[in-house]
Structure 1
Amino acid sequence: MMNITQDMIKDSFSERTFYRGLDYYENGYVIGPVILDNTLYARVIGTMETPYEVKAFINNHKIDTKCTCPVGYKCKHAVALLLNWVHEPSSFIDSNKFITSLNSMSKHEIINIVKKIINHNPAIVCEYSINADERPQINIDAISNKIDWIVCEDLDYYHIWDAVRKLEEIQDIADGLMDKELYKNAAEIYLELIKGCITAFDQGADDSGGSMGEFAIQCVSDFNQCMKQINDPAYKDMLLETILDIANNEDYGLDTWDMLFGIINKDNISHVEEYLLEKLNAEKKYASESHYQYKKNNIIHVLMDLYAHIGMPQEKLRLAQFELITRDDHIRLANVLIGEKRYEDAFDIIKKGMALSEGSFNDLQKLYFSIASILIDQKPDLVDFSTSIDFAFDLMSRYFYKDDYEKIKKVFSGIGKLEEFKATMLTNMPNRNAVVSALLHDGDLQAAIDVILTEPKISSNIIIDVSKTAVDKGMEVESSRLTKIAIERGWMNAGPPMDTLLKVMTGVLDMHTLENMCNSIIKKGSYGNALMLIPYLLDRYPELSAALVMNFITHMPVEVVGQVACAVAKKSPKQGASLCRIRINEDILRSHIHYDKVVFLFKIMRGICSSIGKESDWVRCIRSFAAENKGKKKLIDMMRKEFEMSI
Structure 2
Amino acid sequence: MDVTEDTVRDVCTDAVFERGERYLTEGRIHEMHRVDTTVTAAVSGSRQYDVRVDLATDGFAPWCDCPYDGPGACKHVVAVLLRCVDDPPPDEGDQLDAALDGVDADELRAFLRDELATDADLRARFLARVGEPTRQSADELRASIARRFEETNPEYHVVFEPIDFTQWFDLANEYREQERYASAATVYRALVESLDDNMERVDGAYDHFSSAFSRALDGYVDCVAAAERDADAVTDAIGFLNERATSGTPFLAEHFEKAAVELREKMNEQPSK
TM-score (norm 2): 0.63
Look up the equivalent residue of 1:217 and give its one-letter code.
S
Shift of 1:144: 1.0
Q: Is the 8 A contact 2:241 2:259 kept in 1?
A: yes
Q: Are the structure 2 counterparts of residues 79 and 171 from structure 1 closer, same or farther at C-alpha, using a change threshold of 3 Å?
A: same
Q: Are the structure 2 counterparts of residues 126 and 43 from structure 1 closer, same or farther at C-alpha, using a change threshold of 3 Å?
A: farther
Q: Following the alignment from structure 1 to structure 2, what is the Cα–Cα distance between the partners of residues 168 and 22?
A: 30
Shift of 1:208: 7.7
Q: Are the structure 2 counterparts of residues 245 and 207 from structure 1 closer, same or farther at C-alpha, using a change threshold of 3 Å?
A: farther
Q: Is the 8 A contact 1:17 1:76 kept in 2?
A: yes
Aligned to 1:68, which of 63, 70, 79? 63
Q: Following the alignment from structure 1 to structure 2, what is the Cα–Cα distance between the partners of residues 210 and 102?
A: 39
In the alignment, which residue of structure 1 is the partner of 2:30? 30
Look up the equivalent residue of 1:125 and give its one-letter code.
F
Shift of 1:252: 1.1
2:159 counterpart SS class: coil
2:143 counterpart SS class: helix
Q: Which stretch of the first structure deviates more once superposed, 71-80 or 101-110?
A: 71-80
Look up the equivalent residue of 1:221 and give its one-letter code.
D
Report 1:174-323 matches (<5 A): 174-203=172-201, 205-206=202-203, 209-228=206-225, 229-236=227-234, 242-250=240-248, 251-253=250-252, 254-261=254-261
Shift of 1:174: 2.0
Q: Following the alignment from structure 2 to structure 1, what is the Cα–Cα distance between the partners of residues 38 and 98?
A: 18
Q: Is the 8 A contact 2:242 2:260 kept in 1?
A: yes
Shift of 1:215: 3.2
Shift of 1:96: 0.8
2:44 counterpart SS class: coil
In the alignment, which residue of structure 2 is the partner of 1:333? none
Look up the equivalent residue of 1:138 and give its one-letter code.
Q
1:173 counterpart SS class: helix
Shift of 1:56: 7.5
Q: Following the alignment from structure 1 to structure 2, what is the Cα–Cα distance between the partners of residues 127 and 151?
A: 25
Shift of 1:192: 1.9
The structure with the largest helix share of the pair is 1
Q: Are the structure 2 counterparts of residues 146 and 50 from structure 1 closer, same or farther at C-alpha, using a change threshold of 3 Å?
A: farther
Larger Rg: 1
In the alignment, which residue of structure 2 is the partner of 1:108? 106
Q: Following the alignment from structure 1 to structure 2, what is the Cα–Cα distance between the partners of residues 54 and 260?
A: 33
Q: Is the 8 A contact 1:22 1:79 kept in 2?
A: no
Shift of 1:255: 1.8
Look up the equivalent residue of 1:155 and give its one-letter code.
V
Matched, 1:155 2:155: no
- The answer to which structure, 1 or 2, has the higher relative contact order (CA under 8 A, 6+ apart) is 2
Shift of 1:221: 2.8
In the alignment, which residue of structure 1 is the partner of 2:126? 125
Shift of 1:109: 2.5
Aligned to 1:19, which of 17, 22, 35? 22
Q: Following the alignment from structure 1 to structure 2, what is the Cα–Cα distance between the partners of residues 23 and 170?
A: 35
Structure 2 gap ranges (5+): 10-16, 269-273
Q: Following the alignment from structure 1 to structure 2, what is the Cα–Cα distance between the partners of residues 234 and 110?
A: 45
2:135 counterpart SS class: coil
Give CA deviations for 1:227-273 in whole Å, capped at 9, x if unaligned: 32333234345556644431212321442124545787xxxxxxxxx
Give CA deviations for 1:197-218 in whole Å, capped at 9, x if unaligned: 2222333x24685443343233
1:109 counterpart SS class: helix
Q: Following the alignment from structure 1 to structure 2, what is the Cα–Cα distance between the partners of residues 50 and 122?
A: 28
1:52 counterpart SS class: strand
Q: Following the alignment from structure 1 to structure 2, what is the Cα–Cα distance between the partners of residues 54 and 115?
A: 27
1:219 counterpart SS class: helix
TM-score (norm 1): 0.30
Shift of 1:106: 0.9
Q: Are the structure 2 counterparts of residues 180 and 48 from structure 1 closer, same or farther at C-alpha, using a change threshold of 3 Å?
A: farther
Shift of 1:151: 3.5
Shift of 1:137: 2.2
Q: Is the 8 A contact 1:42 1:81 kept in 2?
A: no
Question: % of aligned pairs identical?
Answer: 10
Aligned residue pairs: how many? 233
Look up the equivalent residue of 1:192 and give its one-letter code.
A
Shift of 1:110: 2.0
Q: Is the 8 A contact 1:24 1:80 kept in 2?
A: no
Q: Are the structure 2 counterparts of residues 115 and 21 from structure 1 closer, same or farther at C-alpha, using a change threshold of 3 Å?
A: farther
Q: Following the alignment from structure 1 to structure 2, what is the Cα–Cα distance between the partners of residues 139 and 212?
A: 23
Look up the equivalent residue of 1:95 and give its one-letter code.
G
Q: Are the structure 2 counterparts of residues 112 and 24 from structure 1 closer, same or farther at C-alpha, using a change threshold of 3 Å?
A: farther
Q: Is the 8 A contact 2:172 2:187 kept in 1?
A: yes
In the alignment, which residue of structure 2 is the partner of 1:95? 93
The RMSD of aligned alpha carbons is 4.2
Look up the equivalent residue of 1:68 and give its one-letter code.
W
Q: Are the structure 2 counterparts of residues 111 and 155 from structure 1 closer, same or farther at C-alpha, using a change threshold of 3 Å?
A: same
